[in-house]
Copies of this chain bind each other. A is one copy, B any other.
Amino acid sequence: MAKAKKAAKSKGKSRSYHHGNLRDALVQGALATIREKGVQHLTLREAARRAGVSQAAPYRHFDSKEALIAAVAEDGFRAFAKEMEESTQKAMDPKTRLQELGVAYVRFATKHPDQFRVMFGPDVPDKSKYSPLAEASQASFSPLVLAIQECQRAGVVREGDPLELAVSAWSLVHGLASLLVDARIEGHQHPGVGPRTEMLTRRVAMDLFEGLKKQSN
C-alpha cells in the first residue's frame, strides 16, 4: 500500500526519469498559468513544460486537457469550502454566520477570479463526469443551507423550505460574485478584493434580508 514517495527531492537538478509528483505538479502549473493568462491560454504542453516533463507525460495522469481543468476546479472547490467554513468560525450568532458566509463567497470569487471562473464556467461542460469535482462542488453548497436552517431555528429567518431559501441567498451572492469577476459593476473593477467590495457585499446581503419592499405600507 504505502504510496508515500520520497516527496523530498530537495532541489538538485538530479531529476530522475520519474518525476515523483507529476500529477500535483501539473495541477499547480495549470493553476499558475490560469492565474497569469486565463483559462483560454492554458496549454497542456505548457503545463508539461512547467513540470519539466515531455508533452505527452500528462496523459499518464489525465485523459484529456478537460480532465486537467477539472482537477484544477476540484482544488478550487476545496479551497472555497475551506474558506467558507473558516469564515463561520468567528461568528457566534446564526445571522452573522449567514452574512459572513456570503462575504466569504464573494471574497473568494474576487480574490481568485480565474479559479472561480473555472469552477463554475463551461470549461468543464459536464461536471458530473468527474465525480471528485461533483462532490467537492456539492460540499460547498451545504454550509449555506445549514446556516439558513440555524437562522430559522433561532427565529431570525422566516419559515419555509430551507433549500428554497438557500437558492435565493445563493443566487444573490453568486450573482454578485459573477458580476464582480466579470468587472461589470461600476467602481469595482480595479482592486477586485478590498473593503469596498466587502461593504458592497454586506449591503446587498442586507437588502435580501430586509427586503426591498417599503415597510410602512
Contact = CB atoms under 8 A, between A and B. Distances in A.
Contacts of A173: 171, 175
A127 to B, nearest CB: 8
A4 B37 CA distance: 42
Question: Dominant SS at the A interface?
Answer: helix
Interface in A178-217: 178-179, 182, 184-185, 200, 203-204, 207-215, 217
A175 B39 CA distance: 21
A207 B162 CA distance: 12
Contacts of A185: 167
Number of identical monomers bound together in the oligomeric complex:
2
Nearest to A175: B175
A32 interface: no
Given A121-B122, A182-B122, A213 B209 contact: yes
Contacts of A122: 38-40, 117, 121, 182
A176 B171 contact: yes
A111 interface: no
Given A213-B157, A213-B209, A175 B170 contact: yes
A40 to B, nearest CB: 7
Given A117-B122, A122-B38, A158 B208 contact: no
Interface of A: 38-40, 117, 120-123, 125, 137, 155-159, 164-165, 167-179, 182, 184-185, 200, 203-204, 207-215, 217
